[in-house]
Amino acid sequence: MSFDLGGNTHHVPAKLFVDNRRRLVAELQKLPPKAGTFVVLQGGVGRHRYNTDSEDLPFRQESYFFWAFGAHESDAFGVIDVATGKSVFFPPRLPPDFAIWEGKIRDEAWLKAKYEVDEVIFNDKYAINDYLTSHGAKNLYLLKAENTDSGNTLVPASFPKRDHFNPSIDTATLYPVIANLRVFKTDLELDVLRYAVKIACEAHKDVMKSIRPNMFEYQCESLFRHHSYYHGGCRHLAYTCVAATGCNSSILHYGHANAPNSKLIKDGDMCMYDMGPEYNCYASDVTCSFPANGKFTENQKLVYNAVLKANREVFKAAKPGVRWIDMHLLAEKVLLEGLKGAGILKGDVDAMVKARIGAVFLPHGLGHLMGLDVHDVGGFLGDAVPRPSEAGLSSLRTTRTLQERMCITIEPGCYFIDILLDRALADPKQKDFFIVERLNEFRGFGGIRIEDDIVVWEKGNENMSQNLPRTVEEIEEFMKH
């Protein structure tokens, strides 16, 4: 059963999550066996607006729990017996009045068929405790997940225990195993990601066709949201829309509450639209940059082509076995060559890379793993090296070598950010690379990012977001009114 929204929306089979649980059990069974070992995962907690019961926050499941159970119920738990692989879903026991306010209460058999778990038990106070004790649980693998990008910690599952139940608690084993499994997408997961990215591309194209100078940025965000949900069944977006135009397009994560895509779009503005829906919790992350009026100026063309070349060179070079840091450095090099060609920089390009000029124009990482989370987990597991300390490289969200079935964004950009330009011009190691008069022509230009969503394959990478006008000529042709 699992999930779709009818019509042309993608059907996500419950098997996707059955397979994930099997993969998890297979990995855990490779560890030295300990009798009575169970995984306990806690799903997301339903929340209302601050101190009210106003339901303005549509629930979105916690991603690790979703990866294993595919369930959309809030306040649920899941238990997996490591020895047998048997999985039990514990949704909350809902009060009878739930049926008045929220609708039909589904029974255990319906939920078991929907999620293809071995058993469903409503979570009365001691239900998890009693299930575990009656099945001889002695050792619990709980998930304690650190996110070094956000600094947040996902706290281990917590459920009421009877006094005499004191299993040993292991919060170290599960995280690296499950996070690393999340890095490598199964065929069924790739199908969902391809669908989410396809919807992202169609919604971006809708915006590119509809935009006109004198619209507001938020009207483009609105069109994108509408297209994603109305045509794609994507209720949630994977992150806050960046619908930046003009000088706002140099603000890397523009669009937040205090910069809410509120500017009037002007003729001649460059747009940098980084927007992506998620479908059944699987993310897309696509950025299109284009002139609001559909026609590039010569300066816009120069910068756009430098960024596009960086994107395309990385796409070709990003093969299995290649380290992501090296791809970032390749992107910098191509970009800096382009800026030298545009007369903004002078000198030896390798020396510029060494002097970290790349980070003046591209202060964020080249890209990141993606999946259930837009900035997906596992970037510093496996063969990752520690996060570099150099400018730009320190923003990388992974330092791993690429492997088949990784999904990663390729998102080089070039931004004219006054504070970074001023710092560089005041830095004796950097200032001599700039042709200041020419550089000053680009102050206030904004920025350009070209972001694609990639699956890494030995036979050559797959660009899930390839169905977009990307060259200057393609964009100008596509945007002709």
The CB density around residue 85, as the number of other CB atoms within 10 Å, is 16
Task: Give the DSSP letter of residue 185.
Answer: -
Quick one: which of 221, 274, 373, 376 contacts ligand GLY (CB under 6 A)?
Answer: 274
Token reading at 353: 């890379």
Nearer to Mn ion, 23 or 375 (CB): 375
Identified binder of ligand GLY from the candidate list 189, 285, 313, 452, rule CB under 6 A: 285
Contact 386, 399 (CB under 8 A): yes
- Find the shortest distance in angstroms from Cβ 238 to ligand GLY: 8
When asked if residue 411 is in the footprint of ligand GLY (CB under 6 A), the reply is yes
Distance between CA 10 and CA 451 in Å, rounded? 23
- The answer to whether residue 274 forms part of the interface with Mn ion (CB under 5 A) is yes
| 453 touches ligand GLY by CB under 6 A | no
CA dihedral 199, 203, 209, 215 (to 10 degrees): 180
Contact 293, 268 (CB under 8 A): yes
> Binding of ligand GLY at residue 239 (CB under 6 A)?
yes
Name which of 189 and 274 has its Cβ closer to ligand GLY: 274
Per CB under 6 A, 73 contacts ligand GLY: no
Stretch that binds Mn ion, among 8-16, 22-30, 311-319, 410-418 (CB under 5 A): 410-418
Q: Which residues pair with 81 in a beta bridge?
A: 38
- Dihedral sign, Cα of residue 27, residue 32, residue 33, residue 34: negative
Q: Which does 20 bind (CB under 5 to 8 A by kind): Mn ion, ligand GLY, none?
A: none
Under a CB-based contact definition with an 8 Å cutoff, are residues 315 and 309 in contact? no
# chain residues binding ligand GLY, by CB under 6 A: 6
Q: Site mask, Mn ion, residues 369-408, x = CB under 5 A?
A: ----------------------------------------
Minimum CB distance to ligand GLY smaller for 265 or for 370: 370
Minimal distance, residue 353 CB to ligand GLY, in Å: 22
Q: With binding defined as CB under 6 A, does residue 415 bind ligand GLY?
A: no
CA distance 338 to 448: 13
Q: Return the bridge partners of 275, or none.
A: 286
Report in angstroms the alpha-carbon separations of 317 from 311, 336, 349, 448: 10, 18, 19, 22
Element at 153 (helix H, strand E):
strand 153-154
Give burial (CB, 10 Å; 0-12/13-18/19+) of 272. Answer: buried
Residue 409 in the binding site for Mn ion (CB under 5 A)? yes
Bridge partners (DSSP) of residue 409 are: 453
Q: Minimum distance between the CB of residue 54 and ligand GLY, rounded to whole angstroms?
A: 28
Segments in 70-212 forming alpha helices (H): 98-101, 108-115, 127-134, 174-183, 187-210
Minimum Å gap between C-beta 242 and ligand GLY is 7
Q: Does 373 bind ligand GLY (CB under 6 A)?
A: no
What is the number of the residue whose Cβ is closest to ligand GLY?
274
Residues within window 296-355 making contact with ligand GLY, judged by CB under 6 A: none
* Token duo for residue 95: 């009060």
Residues engaged in binding ligand GLY (CB under 6 A):
239, 274, 285, 368, 411, 451
Residues engaged in binding Mn ion (CB under 5 A):
274, 285, 409, 411, 451
